[in-house]
Amino acid sequence: MRDLFDKIYKDKGPLGKWAAHAEGYFVFPKLEGEISNRMKFQGKDVITWSINDYLGLANHPEVRKVDAEAAAQYGSAYPMGARMMSGHTELHEQLQNELAEFVSKESAYLLNFGYQGIMSTIDALVGKDDVIVYDVDTHACIIDGVRLHPGKRFTYMHNDIESLEKNLQRATKMAETTGGGILVISEGVFGMRGEQGRLKEIVALKQKYNFRFLVDDAHGFGTLGKTGAGAGEEQGVQDDIDVYFATFAKSLASTGAFIAGDKEIVDYLKYNLRSQMFAKSLQMQLVVGALKRLDMLRSMPELKNKLWENTNALQSGLKSRGFDIGTTQSCVTPVYLNGSIPEAMALVKDLRENHGIFCSIVVYPVIPKGLILLRLIPTATHTLEDVELTLNAFEAIRERLENGTYKRMSASIMAAMGE
Ligand SMILES: Cc1ncc(COP(=O)(O)O)c(C=O)c1O
């Protein structure tokens, strides 16, 4: 028998093995200063493209004021206990009612964190006889939620309706033998590549198959749809989404999340979401802060308009300069380049040190080997000047990638790694 930790001493994992070269810079970087389009990284000014503060609410003076006042009034403890036992308040209920109305659902329920909340939602919705069918590219929290499921599950190829239909046929056969039902899960916007889930085509399959539909709209909420109610509103199918989920961690620039749907379903979830029933209630500062943010989201369409002005300028600028931005249909802006992980490191260093551009970098194993994904998240706080500077910087780094500069620079990293 081996010591449990033996494998950890030997193998740090596909990302962990780069830690000595990456930590503090490429991963776990420390961005400093007020949250905005311009922040500081290692003492230098950078244009930040890596923060999901889509509407620019994080540091809005009115939001900061309400957050501060709520902290002064309630402290960070109130209310103590789980919602069910002692952590329930009028304001929690008010926020739920306002959220439900905003996303055109009968009822909503707050979640302390999106991640655990959606895991528990999946856990509560399905039992051992039920079958889950989900997009293979969904967020880790959905995959972890599915892991809790004791019954059968099938993935369908990313946004591939034919593959979904094939798997719905398999799931239907399976559910007919077990006597269970089917849960289909998609994202409203896939956060890595920016594509919208094909919600319209998925709900059309309800004509042929019997299933319920859960949508994680973390990136769609606040950014898509006429009123900002998300991908369901954008595609005109909000009514056909049975359980709608969004987090406060992106457009609302806070912590917390919610699910929404028919009252009877939400009432059931309220009594069966283990990560909420056995965890402390969302603290008051976050509840009051979310009410304020939701109010601004509803009453200040100019924030979403500015977000899209920046998004369109960035995406059309990249495309017209010949960059591959994939098939994004949202504000999430991926830029795909070809190169190794050490080349990606040299490139990102150049972007940050010499061009003052801070964006996230995604490499294998999150995306296929040999690809580099630079992910840009526009916000309402960016300016068209930020976009222009960024486009120029991207042209410069592409040239250096193609003429082998980063390959030469990365040789030392490779040598140190013994690769
Ligand atoms: C698609 C998606 N779902 C769920 C979550 C988890 O939400 P939270 O940050 O509120 O835990 C995230 C990340 O924020 C996400 O991107």
Question: Please, what are the averages of pLDDT over each run of 10 residues along the chain (419 residues)?
Answer: 91 78 87 96 96 97 98 97 96 98 98 97 98 96 98 98 98 98 98 96 98 98 98 98 98 98 98 97 98 98 98 98 97 95 91 96 85 96 98 96 91 63
Do 279 and 373 fall into the same domain?
no
How far is 392 from 355, CA to CA, in rounded Å? 9
Distances from the Cα of 237 to the Cα of 18, 201, 242, 265, 333, angstroms = 43, 10, 10, 19, 24
> CA triplet 363, 416, 356: central angle to 5 degrees?
50
Residue 115 Cβ < 6 Å to ligand 1: yes
How far is 392 from 241, CA to CA, in rounded Å? 42
User: Please, which residues bridge with residue 189 across strands?
Assistant: 196
User: Please, which residues bridge with residue 111 across strands?
Assistant: 257
pTM: 0.96
Instruction: Write down which residue in 256, 277, 299 finishes a domain.
Output: 299
How many CB atoms neighbour CB 278 within 10 A? 11
CB 31 within 8 A of CB 356: no
DSSP 189: B
How far is 392 from 388, CA to CA, in rounded Å? 6
How far is 352 from 47, CA to CA, in rounded Å? 9
Residue 141 Cβ < 6 Å to ligand 1: yes
Crossing angle for the helix pair 341-355 and 405-417, to the nearest 10 degrees: 120
SS3 134: strand
How far is 193 from 371, CA to CA, in rounded Å? 13
Do 153 and 286 fall into the same domain?
yes
How far is 268 from 150, CA to CA, in rounded Å? 20
Do you know the residue count of the chain?
419
Residue 247 Cβ < 6 Å to ligand 1: yes
Residue 194 Cβ < 6 Å to ligand 1: no
Do 294 and 236 fall into the same domain?
yes
CB 199 within 8 A of CB 159: no
E strand intervals along 221-284: 243-247, 257-261
How far is 218 from 231, CA to CA, in rounded Å? 10
Residue 245 Cβ < 6 Å to ligand 1: no
Instruction: Give me ligand 1 centre to Cα 297, in Å.
Output: 19
Nearest-CA residue for ligand 1 atom 7 is 114
Q: Tokens for 200? A: 């319209």
Instruction: Give me ligand 1 centre to Cα 218, in Å.
Output: 6
Give the model's pLDDT for residue 413.
Answer: 63
In the chain, the number of structural domains is: 2
Residue 70 inside a domain? The answer is no
Give the model's pLDDT for residue 98.
Answer: 98
Q: Tokens for 22? A: 């990456």
Residue 26 Cβ < 6 Å to ligand 1: no
How far is 304 from 354, CA to CA, in rounded Å? 31
User: Dihedral of CA 336/340/346/352: which sign?
Assistant: positive
Nearest-CA residue for ligand 1 atom 15 is 218
Residue 125 inside a domain? The answer is yes
Residue 187 Cβ < 6 Å to ligand 1: yes
Do 234 and 261 fall into the same domain?
yes
Residue 365 inside a domain? The answer is yes
Do 47 and 110 fall into the same domain?
no
- Residue closest to 281 by CA, chosen among 25, 12, 56, 87: 87
CB 264 within 8 A of CB 271: no
Instruction: Write down which residue in 299, 333, 366 finishes a domain.
Output: 299
Give the model's pLDDT for residue 418.
Answer: 52
Do 318 and 281 fall into the same domain?
no
Instruction: Write down which residue in 299, 328, 359 finishes a domain.
Output: 299
Do 148 and 243 fall into the same domain?
yes
Do 339 and 393 fall into the same domain?
yes
Do 281 and 144 fall into the same domain?
yes
Give the model's pLDDT for residue 414.
Answer: 66
Do 176 and 217 fall into the same domain?
yes
The enclosing domain of 168 has a CATH number of 3.40.640.10
Do 173 and 294 fall into the same domain?
yes
Residue 386 Cβ < 6 Å to ligand 1: no
CB 314 within 8 A of CB 378: yes
How far is 416 from 418, CA to CA, in rounded Å? 5
Do 253 and 323 fall into the same domain?
no
Residue 263 inside a domain? The answer is yes
Pocket probe mutation, ligand 1, options 54, 115, 143, 189, max atoms within 8 Å of Cβ:
115
CB 144 within 8 A of CB 119: yes
Q: Which domain does 287 fall in, by range? A: 75-299
Give the model's pLDDT for residue 415.
Answer: 67
Residue 145 Cβ < 6 Å to ligand 1: no
User: Dihedral of CA 29/35/38/40: which sign?
Assistant: negative
Give the model's pLDDT for residue 179.
Answer: 98
Torsion of CA 69, 293, 243, 144, to 10 degrees: -70
How far is 101 from 284, CA to CA, in rounded Å? 21
Q: Which amino acid is at 155?
A: T
Pocket probe mutation, ligand 1, options 214, 247, 362, max atoms within 8 Å of Cβ:
247
Give the model's pLDDT for residue 384.
Answer: 98
How far is 155 from 67, CA to CA, in rounded Å? 41
Give the model's pLDDT for residue 309.
Answer: 98
- Whether residue 79 is preceded by a cis peptide bond, meaning omega within 30 degrees of 0, is yes
The enclosing domain of 43 has a CATH number of 3.90.1150.10
